[in-house]
Amino acid sequence: MSNVANKNTVWHEPSIYRKDREKMNGHKSVIIWFTGLSGAGKSTVAHALEDILHKNKIRTFVLDGDNVRQGLCKDLGFSEDDREENIRRIGEVSRLMMEAGVIVLSAFISPFIKDRKIVRELVTKGEFIEVFCDAPIDVCETRDVKGLYKKARAGEIQEFTGISSPYEAPAKPEILLDTANQTIEKSVERILAYLRKQQIINVE
Amino acid sequence: MSNVANKNTVWHEPSIYRKDREKMNGHKSVIIWFTGLSGAGKSTVAHALEDILHKNKIRTFVLDGDNVRQGLCKDLGFSEDDREENIRRIGEVSRLMMEAGVIVLSAFISPFIKDRKIVRELVTKGEFIEVFCDAPIDVCETRDVKGLYKKARAGEIQEFTGISSPYEAPAKPEILLDTANQTIEKSVERILAYLRKQQIINVE
């Protein structure tokens, strides 16, 4: 028995690495991190970008509240500690997906500089691309797609970013999008241009 | 301003779904969940399987202690609650990666039936493939690749599965591998045959 067992115990080091996946996919993998107020257009731009990337056979995935808050982070609330842990976990999942060869589009308000910094520091320089969806609160509140601002003003939601909790804008995001004034298409084109320039993708 | 803003607020529903990614990849995505004692060969078989799949242009990713315990689950210890939360998070990440079109190879002792059941129930029938790496503890202890059994016997590790904490074997795993006696290659071939039969992959 032990001979057979020993024969089978050759330790199998991982032999498929991210670079192998990037080579197979024909593009690099990165984390594109959308930050901004609720209603600033993070998810909208992320999904519109994903459409174009997917048509060009680029592997993508959008992480947002819809697929994280009910699952991975369903044990977390909205206290400062819980919001920090929420972003930390999303950062770790983004990193794992990037290792798997995927261009990850993470769309979360992520209002605190320190939390975004934690995610940035999880990965190598150039792998974390911060996209600030910069729309003033009055524009976001006018949109109020999900009716959240109304609830926040009515006091039905506590610690709502921009109303009862601060939003700390990035000082030097890789990409700043004027999502109050420019079209979704223009925002997407800005990001595509950046990805091409950084040689992350090489599609037209 | 508000006109411009409104023009930009068309809500962009997600339009790239898992089926689109599966179509692009040429294979379905599933969670292959390896369970068994420490030293039973879970990671070894998972990485050997990944080698073959990758050579066939199949998108894969191995989740194991090496890439999870220091990151996503670094706040967790080895109490029963923490182990449960550990498996829950890994299950959620596996699900997200599966949604991203990846065949996820999760290799964790995952000793408790109820925790594995939680992961199984996260996804649709057929998407969770439980692979029981069935090697008796004396074989695993003889291997002791990481020197953990020695430490557990010396009392340096508490709640070590098989020594001071139970392992609950799956009653009806999708695949049972006799990893004490059969070669790694044979184990890999068994899983490949299963994936082909279930039409998850269609490589020779």
Give the pLDDT score at B161: 93
What is the 3 state secondary structure string of A107-163?
A: ECCCCCHHHHHHHHHHCCCCCEEEEEECCCHHHHHHHCCCCHHHHHHCCCCCCCECC
**Using the beta-carbon criterion (under 8 Å), do A15 and B51 form an inter-chain contact?**
yes
**Using the beta-carbon criterion (under 8 Å), do A5 and B180 form an inter-chain contact?**
yes
- pLDDT (average), residues A106-131: 96
Average pLDDT, chain A: 92
Per CB-CB distance under 8 Å, the chain B contacts of A183 are: 7-8
Q: Which of A3, A6, A9, A82 to mutate to test the interface with B (most CBs of B within 10 A)?
A: A9
- pLDDT (average), residues A76-87: 90
B6 pLDDT band, cuts 50/70/90, is: very low
- pLDDT (average), residues A120-126: 96
Q: How many CB atoms lie within 10 A of CB B198?
A: 13
Give the pLDDT score at A77: 86
**Using the beta-carbon criterion (under 8 Å), do A101 and B59 form an inter-chain contact?**
yes
Is pLDDT at B104 greater than 80 in this prediction?
Answer: yes
B10 pLDDT band, cuts 50/70/90, is: very low
Q: What are the residues whose beta carbons fall under 8 Å from the beta carbon of A154, sequence distance 6 or more?
A: none
- pLDDT (average), residues A37-52: 96
CA torsion sign, A34 to A35 to A37 to A40? negative
Per CB-CB distance under 8 Å, the chain A contacts of B85 are: 75
Which one of A16, A44, A45 has the shortest CB-CB distance to B54? A16
Give the pLDDT score at B11: 52
Choose between A157 and A12: higher pLDDT.
A157
Q: What are the residues whose beta carbons fall under 8 Å from the beta carbon of B134, sequence distance 6 or more?
A: B36, B40, B169, B176, B177, B178, B179, B180
What does CATH list as the number for A17-197? 3.40.50.300
Q: From CA A44, how far away is CA A56, in angstroms rounded?
A: 19
**Using the beta-carbon criterion (under 8 Å), do A43 and B12 form an inter-chain contact?**
yes
Is pLDDT at B2 greater than 60 in this prediction?
Answer: no
Per CB-CB distance under 8 Å, the chain A contacts of B2 are: 139, 142
Average pLDDT, chain B: 92
Give the pLDDT score at A13: 65
Q: What are the residues whose beta carbons fall under 8 Å from the beta carbon of A156, sequence distance 6 or more?
A: none
B77 pLDDT band, cuts 50/70/90, is: confident
Q: What are the residues whose beta carbons fall under 8 Å from the beta carbon of B32, sequence distance 6 or more?
A: B46, B49, B103, B104, B105, B106, B129, B131, B191
Is pLDDT at A8 greater than 50 in this prediction?
Answer: no
Q: Which of A43, A62, A96 to mutate to test the interface with B (most CBs of B within 10 A)?
A: A96
Is pLDDT at B135 greater than 60 in this prediction?
Answer: yes
ipTM for the whole predicted complex goes beyond 0.95: no
Q: From CA A200, how far away is CA A194, in angstroms rounded?
A: 9
Q: From CA B184, how far away is CA B25, in angstroms rounded?
A: 26
Is pLDDT at B107 greater than 80 in this prediction?
Answer: yes
DSSP state of A11: -
The owner of tokens 């959620």 is B92
Is pLDDT at B68 greater than 50 in this prediction?
Answer: yes
Per CB-CB distance under 8 Å, the chain B contacts of A67 are: 96, 99
Is pLDDT at A121 greater than 50 in this prediction?
Answer: yes
Contact B63, B47 (CB under 8 A): no
* Alpha carbon separation from B54 to A129, B25, B165 (Å, rounded): 28, 12, 36
Is pLDDT at B1 greater than 80 in this prediction?
Answer: no
Q: Which residues of A does the annotation mark as catalytic?
A: 110
- pLDDT (average), residues B81-103: 96
Tokens of A16: 């498929």
Which one of A16, A41, A68 has the shortest CB-CB distance to B50? A16
Give the pLDDT score at B5: 38
- pLDDT (average), residues A65-72: 90
Which one of B89, B100, B180 has the shortest CB-CB distance to A102? B100
A12 pLDDT band, cuts 50/70/90, is: low
Give the A:B interface size as CB pairs under 8 Å: 161
**Using the beta-carbon criterion (under 8 Å), do B12 and A48 form an inter-chain contact?**
yes
Give the pLDDT score at B3: 35
B187 is catalytic: no
**Residue ranges of the domains in chain B?**
16-135+168-197
Is pLDDT at A30 greater than 50 in this prediction?
Answer: yes
**Using the beta-carbon criterion (under 8 Å), do A2 and B142 form an inter-chain contact?**
yes
What is the distance in angstroms between the Cα of A9 and the nearest Cα belonging to chain B?
7
Least confident of A101-110, B30-39, B159-168: B159-168
Q: Is the pTM of this model over 0.90?
A: yes
Contact B180, A4 (CB under 8 A): yes
B12 pLDDT band, cuts 50/70/90, is: low
Exposed/middle/buried for B97, CB within 10 Å: 0-12, 13-18, 19+? Answer: buried
User: How many Å separate Cα B112 from the centre of its chain?
Assistant: 14
Is pLDDT at B113 greater than 80 in this prediction?
Answer: yes
Give the pLDDT score at B159: 87
Q: Per residue in A133-192, pLDDT tens?
A: 999 999 999 999 889 999 999 999 988 999 999 999 999 999 999 999 999 999 999 999
The per-residue DSSP string of chain B comes to -HHHHHHT---------HHHHHHHHTS---EEEEE--TTSSHHHHHHHHHHHHHHTT--EEEEEHHHHTTTTTTT--SSHHHHHHHHHHHHHHHHHHHHTT-EEEEE-----HHHHHHHHHHS-TTSEEEEEE---HHHHHHH-TTSHHHHHHTTSSSS-BTTTB-----SS-SEEE-TTTS-HHHHHHHHHHHHHHTTS----
Q: How many CB atoms lie within 10 A of CB B75?
A: 11
Strand pairing partners for A62? A105
Give the pLDDT score at B65: 87
Q: Kindly name the residue from B29, B106, B110, B187 that is annotated as catalytic.
A: B110
What does CATH list as the number for B16-135+168-197? 3.40.50.300
